């Protein structure tokens, strides 16, 4: 069902604003949040998005030409410089990742009694200061009125906002990973044979990095057959260079199956979020980037390497270490040291061939640790559970 006109009354329970950055990261998180709120009966959601073309890459039913439309029970509003007429803000208004609310919308909030609860949903961080700032209010002067804006920080400890994890996701993952016939059918749907006993299957969705060239070279020359599941994107050039297949780059397309030594590369189209979860669940190792794919790799309960979003002042390496301090805390020191160094080498564009040579030594403990970590993360509840509890005393 689609419509180009604003939704009539009654007003929404949630307004979520998203300014798309880096194509998929911010919209990936906010789309998951919107869907979870709707699916778990937390009320009606309106999602404001400034770049519907990028959004459509992960939501195939979306029409980028429409100002307003329903998708999966959520009203998608194209966020343009001018607001639709007679917009009534929802009971809860969320600025995703410090995007600035339209001035007219903020004034409409100030005109309501009581005003909406205003949340600034921050980027995920493992930094220690996040615990001190999570849940704090910041008074905002809007017209003649002061409105409180609350900072909500996703994180990895009980004193943060937790991580997005839909109800039933872990049980669905378990069913998927334990269904061998279903896994064989999944591989067949991608044009691949069932996974061989001595084979590794790896997904890769990262930014560009010279480290990828050395890693792919090692896969090509190593003793273990590796099948790389590669969604078309920014890392394609480095992967093909590492495999000695640069000449394929101008004509490479989804569906191609390329070979170089011990490495097979299956090129995949961009998929929706459910499809990406299943890819992560099916692989032995996942190389991921940014925030959304990084979190989903943790719910996959499989070993992963994180290519964090690079920053000019190298602040991202400190943030990487802050996360690894949590993730590696329960690993034996030698394994923790190896995995930390491997992640740093990937992020710094270093040669990673020697790190990969040690993979068989740490494979079993890495697999066990990934499962234990995913259970630990939910001990204090997921993000939506914590957000709703936070709002109960403020609405």
Q: Are 349 and 210 in contact (CB under 8 A)?
A: yes
Report the SS3 class of residue 148. strand
Measure the CA angle with vertex 336, ends 334 and 338; round to 5°.
70
- Cα angle value 239/244/245 (rounded, 5°): 75
Do the beta carbons of residue 343 and residue 362 sit within 8 Å?
Answer: no
DSSP annotation of 252 reads -
Catalytic hit among 217, 291, 292, 382: 291
- Catalytic annotation on 291? yes
Look up 26 and say whether it is catalytic.
yes
Please tell me which residue in 26, 38, 217, 238 is annotated as part of the active site: 26
Asked if residue 12 lies in contact with residue 44, where contact means CB atoms within 8 angstroms, the answer is yes
Give the angle subtended at the CA of 70 by the CAs of 102 and 18, to the nearest 5°. Answer: 30
Contact assessment for residue 177 and residue 184, using Cβ atoms and an 8 Å cutoff? no
Per-residue DSSP letters for 225-236?
A: -EEEEEESSTTH
Sort 365 into a burial class: Cβ within 10 Å, 0-12 / 13-18 / 19+.
Answer: middle
Nearby residues of 333 by Cβ (< 8 Å), 6 or more positions away? none
Active-site residue set: 26, 291
């Amino acid at each position: 069902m689609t419509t180009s006109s604003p939704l009539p009354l009654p007003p929404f329970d949630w307004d979520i604003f998203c300014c798309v950055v880096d194509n998929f990261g911010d919209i990936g998180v906010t789309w998951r949040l919107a869907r979870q709120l709707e699916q778990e009966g937390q009320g009606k959601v309106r999602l404001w998005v400034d770049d519907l073309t990028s959004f459509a890459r992960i939501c195939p039913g979306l029409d980028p030409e429409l100002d307003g439309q329903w998708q999966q029970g959520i009203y998608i509003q194209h966020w343009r410089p001018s607001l639709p007429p007679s917009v009534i803000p929802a009971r809860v208004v969320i600025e995703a990742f410090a995007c600035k609310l339209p001035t007219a919308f903020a004034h409409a909030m100030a005109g309501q009694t009581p005003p909406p609860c205003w949340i600034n949903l921050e980027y995920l961080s493992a930094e220690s200061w996040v615990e001190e700032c999570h849940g704090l209010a910041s008074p905002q002067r809007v017209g003649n009125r002061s409105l409180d804006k609350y900072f909500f920080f996703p994180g990895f400890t009980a004193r943060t906002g937790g991580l997005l994890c839909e109800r039933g996701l872990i049980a669905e993952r378990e069913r998927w990973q334990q269904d061998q016939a279903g896994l064989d059918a999944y591989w067949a749907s991608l044009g691949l044979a069932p996974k061989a006993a001595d084979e590794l299957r790896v997904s890769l969705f990262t930014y560009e990095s010279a480290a990828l060239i050395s890693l792919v070279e090692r896969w090509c020359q190593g003793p273990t057959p590796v099948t790389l599941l590669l969604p078309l994107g920014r890392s394609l050039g480095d992967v093909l260079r590492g495999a000695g297949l640069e000449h394929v780059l101008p004509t490479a397309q989804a569906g191609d199956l390329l070979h170089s030594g011990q490495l097979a590369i299956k090129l995949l189209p961009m998929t929706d979020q459910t499809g990406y979860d299943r890819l992560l669940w099916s692989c032995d190792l996942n190389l991921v980037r940014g925030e959304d794919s990084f979190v989903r790799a943790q719910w996959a309960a499989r070993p992963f390497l994180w290519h964090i979003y690079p920053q000019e002042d190298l602040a991202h390496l400190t943030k990487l270490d802050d996360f690894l301090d949590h993730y590696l805390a329960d690993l034996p020191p030698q394994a923790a040291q190896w995995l930390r160094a491997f992640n740093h080498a990937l992020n710094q564009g270093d040669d990673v061939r020697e790190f990969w040579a040690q993979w068989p030594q740490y494979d079993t403990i890495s697999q066990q640790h990934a499962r234990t970590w995913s259970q630990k993360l939910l001990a204090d509840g997921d993000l939506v559970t914590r957000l709703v509890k936070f709002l109960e005393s403020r609405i």
